[in-house]
Amino acid sequence: MMTTIKRLIATALIPCMAFAGVPLTAQAAMVSTEQAMVTPAGDAHRDHVSAFFTRADVQTALQAQGVNANDAIERVKAMSDVEVAQLADRVDQAPAGAGVVGILFTVFLVLLVTDILGLTSVFPFTRSIR
C-alpha cells in the first residue's frame, strides 16, 4: 500500500520537477498615462454618468443651475476613475425611493439577528439560541 502511494507521488513529482527549470518569458512595453488611467470599469461608470446627464429632466435641472449639459459631460470625461465611480454611486442613489429597499433589508436583518439571539420574538420561523 505504501509503495503504491510513493509511486503515485513520485509519478506526479517527476513532471513538476522537469518543468520547474523551464524559464518563463516576460514582455514589457511602454504604457502611456492615458492608457494607464483608463480602465474598463471607469469607462462603464463614465457611460452611466453621461447617460444620466443626457436625460431631459436632468438637463433642465442643470440649465436651471446655469450649467450646460455638454460641459458637464466633458468634465466627467476628464475625471479620474475614482471620482467617476463616486459620482456614479451618487447617481444610483439619486432617484426617490431607491434607499428604501436597503433600509427595509437592514431592519429585517437586525430583527432577524435579535430574534435568533433571543432578545425579541418577531418572526415565528426562527429559533432562539438560548
The pLDDT tens digits of the residues spanning 83-108 come to 778 878 877 776 544 455 566 667 76
Residue 19's pLDDT is 82
Please count the other Cβ atoms lying within 10 Å of the Cβ belonging to residue 114. 15
Residue 3's pLDDT is 87
Residue 81 has pLDDT above 50, yes or no: yes
Q: Higher confidence at residue 18 or residue 129?
A: 18
What is the pTM assigned to this prediction? 0.43
Rounded Cα–Cα distance for residues 95 and 102 (Å): 13
Mean pLDDT across 35-50: 75
**Among candidates 125, 105, 128, 103, which has minimal Cα distance to 115?**
128
Rounded Cα–Cα distance for residues 8 and 1 (Å): 11
Rounded Cα–Cα distance for residues 101 and 59 (Å): 27
The average confidence (pLDDT) of the chain is 76
